[in-house]
A and B are shown apart, each in its own frame.
Chain A
Amino acid sequence: MERISPHQFMTLGSAVLLGTTFLPVASIVTGVGGRDGWMSVLPGLAAGIPYGLMVLSLLEQYPNKNLLQISEILFGKWIGKITGVLYILITSYFGGLLLSQAGDFYEVSIMSLTPIGLFFLGGLLLVFYLVNSGIEVFARFSEVIFPVIVIALLLNIGLSLPRMEQGELLPILSEGIKPLFWGGLKVVPFAMEYILFLAGILTFLPISKRELGQLKTGVWRAVFLVGILDTLVVLIQILVFGPAETIRLVYGLLVLGKMVEISRTVAGVESLFLGVWFGALVIKVSAFFFTVTWGLETVFSFKGLKWNLAVGVFFLVIAFRFQRGPSLIREIGLIDDYLILPFVSVWILTLWGVSRWKKGAGVQ
């Protein structure tokens, strides 16, 4: 059985949680929370902490089992299977949508003449290789790529500082804290995507007491690291574009990348940033690919290359179905808000509640 270390769990979790959230997050939270939207990012993502800890407490109680197996134990076979099917459907559909985003952001920015299918195919090939290589290789891949993503983000943010407009963040909290609540609610689905991944990866995590403690710290660290990064991304966009333009820009960070200029000499470095964003996207799509394969194995005992190929084809079909950028962006938002958020929040909470109740009542 493959195992990943607590450190790998932390970096992999951070990479999955971050994914490509830095691309739409500014537009989403500013649209709801206005110029104070940046304050809602960290609290919104922090919802991932209690949920992550609940998942790990279930791991403690049911070692070497993923949440689908635990669901079958706690809810009974059929409800467990239905939950599993929902899990597979949501993760496979969402994974396909994310793959489609690779085509969208490349086509809209720097490679408008390349057939969109090549981005899907190229991305999927990398994802496929990672999935076939196993979770250890995927974790190591994240350990290498995630720091590069962080550095690229910080560079993009740092080099955009000279473009800041005066006083765009002010006034602070002029509309009270209500908009922050709504902004936070828009970010919670990002945390729930991470929990979906966590639900499946449990069987690959170490289970000794010391390591469990490290895993819990890993959840905290991942959430705070990504929360701070995404907050900075929103902050810089509001500071440079102002709130109204931040809402309008579909991929504001790409526009920032195009504005980077060093000493009026170095410019046009957005392609470098885009290469890194592609790495982030591959990690996120791979995570969802993994969740689908784990789901299929747990619920239907389908596993092996044949089924991986089938999942890949399904991802491609979904990606090709959403070649219209606006439809894709809207669909991702809808799935996040109306499927992933309610499904994960209810499922994990109920599972954890039932396990506590059964433990308290001494029922096995």
Chain B
Amino acid sequence: MKSNIGKERKVLLITILITCLLFLPGCWGKREVEELAPLLGVGFDLGEKPGTFLITMQFARPKKGASSGAEIEERTFSVEASSGREAIEKISKVTYRTPFMGSLKVMIIGEEAAKAGFKDMLDFAQRFAEFRRSMYLVLAKGKAQDILNLKTRSGLLPAMAIKNNIEGGDELSSFPTVRLGHYFTVLSTKSTAPILPVAKSVKSGEGLEYKADGNDEAGEIRILGAGVLRGDRLVYFLTDEETKGYMWLENNVTQRLINTIDLEENSTKYGGHVLNSTTKYKVKANNGKIELQYQIKTSIAIDEILGLKKQLSGAEWVELTKEAEKSFAKVIEKECESSINKQRELGLDFLGIGRHIEQKNSTYWKTIKDQWEKEMADFPVSLEVQVTIHHSGMSSSSATNSAGEGQD
């Protein structure tokens, strides 16, 4: 009797396992990888018809006869559609493969679309499970379509070039890195204005010279500055200096190249790189008024000194290093101040100062949050920048021809 029950159980178990094996491994509705069209970049511009967007999608196509499997060619389409799904439907009719959103690296918002507002276009990315919130979001100076259709001189697809630029951005720390998830988080914060980096196609002669391939088209993509948004609408493009100020104040500087060329007061100029940097902030009462104080502590290594005319003694070398610290601190202060002034002028809290106040003194924040846009204009913000020069490179002095030597 007992062995019969045991047998029955075994049969039941085997039946269940076979059934599970048949139905649950996920082969139902499977799509083979060669049937997929991996999407790398999406661009949104305003469509000609009201309420529509010109949606550009850049797919990867594995290169035939490529030396490695990673070599891809571009396949870019633009369609006018009212929604993301409609665009996919239109494009699917010609791609013969199913667009796969899980590989999407960059989403580019064209300038006009950004000014008009693009929230509805992101709803698809927020809901549809194939999208990853870790993809990058950038604004385009001009049309997103133009950037995605660009033939880069490096041979990289524009979407991949932008992705690589962003991922290498830590070495420059001159523009913010914004992932889709981060944008949604900031968008939910009532007081903070979102900020997105700006991508721009660069022709030879536009601040950069290169040998063009016999045509007048741009061959490079540059990420420079950032756009400030009110919710999902672009309001203003920050300059390079204002964006760098934002990076300091947001504690986003990992490494940075920095120079004091634009400082007028010193004849000796310095160039260097930031080794590390930390920005902290305090909300404190000063003469009965609440103020926000940023404290920036930065370590810099000097890489070049310009305008040094003589051989330095040991004491002068130490003194020069101290002078350099002051000069670098001035540059950092200048960048931060330009950013703070722009925030006051725009009345948009892209620096998240409101959130900082809320985090440190929520009772005070409750009294000002409803009129924060007005309060922001004259809310006291102070800076304390402390620069430490770790070294001045491999040389204590610049190569000079001291008076008398080699001369009769």
Contact = CB atoms under 8 A, between A and B. Distances in A.
Contact of B28 (A115, A133, A170, A254): A115
A255 B129 CA distance: 8
A114 B23 CA distance: 9
Interface string A266-298: 011001000000000000000000000000000
A242 B185 contact: yes
A132 B9 contact: yes
Interface stretch (B11-19, B258-266, B385-393): B11-19
A166 B251 contact: yes
Contact of B133 (A108, A258, A264): A258
A246 to B, nearest CB: 9
A350 interface: no
A114 B28 CA distance: 5
B205 interface: no
A129 B26 contact: no
Interface residues of A, number: 41
A255 B133 contact: yes
A331 interface: no
Nearest to A243: B188
B129 A126 contact: no
Interface string A94-118: 0000000000000011111111001
Contacts of A264: 167
Interface in B180-221: 181-182, 184-185, 188-189
A362 interface: no
Chain A interface SS verdict (over half): helix
A242 B365 CA distance: 18
Interface in A137-167: 163, 165-167
B358 interface: yes
Interface string B19-42: 110011010110000000000000
A126 B20 contact: yes
A38 B28 CA distance: 38
B127 to A, nearest CB: 9
Contacts of B184: 241, 245
Given A115-B28, A268-B102, A259 B129 contact: no
Contacts of B358: 170-171, 174
Interface string A238-267: 001111110000000011001101001001
Contacts of B251: 166
A349 interface: no
Contact of A122 (B23, B189, B363): B23
Contacts of B401: none
A128 interface: yes
A79 interface: no
Contact of A259 (B23, B29, B132, B356): B132
B134 interface: yes
Interface in B23-79: 23-24, 26, 28-29
A228 interface: no
Given A241-B181, A258-B129, A122 B20 contact: yes
Given A125-B16, A133-B9, A111 B28 contact: yes
Contacts of B28: 111, 113-115, 118
A163 B355 contact: no
A240 B359 CA distance: 16
A86 B391 CA distance: 77
27 contacts: A111-B26, A112-B129, A118-B24, A122-B24, A125-B19, A129-B12, A133-B9, A165-B182, A167-B356, A167-B359, A170-B358, A171-B358, A171-B359, A171-B360, A240-B181, A241-B181, A242-B185, A245-B181, A245-B185, A255-B133, A258-B132, A259-B132, A259-B134, A259-B181, A261-B134, A264-B167, A271-B26
Interface of B: 9, 12-13, 16, 19-20, 23-24, 26, 28-29, 102, 129, 132-134, 167, 181-182, 184-185, 188-189, 251, 355-356, 358-360, 362-363, 365-366
Given A122-B24, A171-B358, 14 more contacts: A109-B129, A114-B29, A118-B23, A121-B19, A122-B19, A125-B19, A129-B13, A133-B9, A166-B251, A167-B356, A170-B358, A255-B133, A258-B129, A258-B132
Interface of A: 108-115, 118-119, 121-122, 125-126, 128-129, 132-133, 163, 165-168, 170-171, 174, 240-245, 254-255, 258-259, 261, 264, 267-268, 271
